[in-house]
Structure 1
Amino acid sequence: MSRRSGKTTANNDKGSTTAMTAEEAGVPNESAEYIKSLQDPDVVERVRCVIKDAHVFKLPPRPTSGGWRGADWREEVWQGTVKVVERGEMTLVLLVDKTNGQMFAVCPIKDGAVDRCVDSSRYFVLRIENANGRHMFIGMAFNERNDAFDFNTSLEDAKREREAIKEPPVKLPDLPSKDYSIKEGEKITVNIKNKIVSNHGDTAGDHKVKRPSKVSASSKKGGFALKPSSRDTQRRSGD
Structure 2
Amino acid sequence: MMNAVADDEFESVLWIARECYVYRLPPRTSSAGYKAAEWGDMEAFLWKGRLRILERGSENDPTNSTKCFIRLEDADTGELFANCPYTLDGKSVEPVLDSSRYYVIRVEDATTGQRAFLGMGFPERSDSFDFNVALQDWTKRQRNTTKREDVDQGPSPHIPSGPKRDFSLKEGQTISISFGGGHGNRSTSSTTKKSTGSAASDALVPPLLPPPPPPPRK
**TM-score range for the pair, normalised by the shorter chain length:** 0.5 to 0.7
Correspondence for 2:20 among 51, 54, 60: 54
Once the two structures are superposed, residues 189-233 of structure 1 have per-residue CA deviations (whole angstroms, 9 ceiling, x without a partner) of xxxxxxxxxxxxxxxxxxxxxxxxxxxxxxxxxxxxxxxxxxxxx
Q: Distance in 2 between matches of 1:124 and 1:135?
A: 16
Correspondence for 2:130 among 150, 166, 188: 150
User: CA shift at 1:78, angstroms?
Assistant: 0.6
Aligned to 2:77: 100
Query: Any idea what SS the aligned residue of 2:99 has?
Result: coil
Aligned to 1:16: none
The answer to whether the 8 A contact 2:18-2:51 is kept is yes
User: CA shift at 1:42, angstroms?
Assistant: 2.5
TM-score, normalised relative to structure 2: 0.61
Query: Any idea what SS the aligned residue of 2:126 has?
Result: helix
Aligned to 1:173: 158
Q: Distance in 1 between matches of 2:38 and 2:157?
A: 55
The answer as to 2:11 corresponding to 1:45 is yes
Q: Distance in 2 between matches of 1:124 and 1:113?
A: 10
User: CA shift at 1:174, angstroms?
Assistant: 5.1
Q: Distance in 1 between matches of 2:122 and 2:85?
A: 19
- Which structure features the higher share of helix residues? 2
Alignment of 1:212-227 (within 5 A): none
Aligned to 2:99: 120
Q: Distance in 2 between matches of 1:72 and 1:83?
A: 26
Q: Which amino acid aligns with 2:45?
A: E
Correspondence for 1:67 among 7, 19, 33: 33
Give the paired residue count: 141
Once the two structures are superposed, residues 132-152 of structure 1 have per-residue CA deviations (whole angstroms, 9 ceiling, x without a partner) of 000100000001111001111
The answer to whether the 8 A contact 2:5-2:11 is kept is no
The answer as to 2:84 corresponding to 1:84 is no
Q: Distance in 1 between matches of 2:140 and 2:13?
A: 16
Q: Distance in 2 between matches of 1:174 and 1:129?
A: 46
Q: 5+ residue gaps in structure 2?
A: 58-65, 161-218
Alignment of 1:8-27 (within 5 A): none
User: CA shift at 1:92, angstroms?
Assistant: 0.7
Return structure 1 stretches of 4+ with deviation > 4 angstroms. none
Query: Any idea what SS the aligned residue of 2:12 has?
Result: strand
TM-score, normalised relative to structure 1: 0.56
Q: Distance in 2 between matches of 1:42 and 1:128?
A: 26
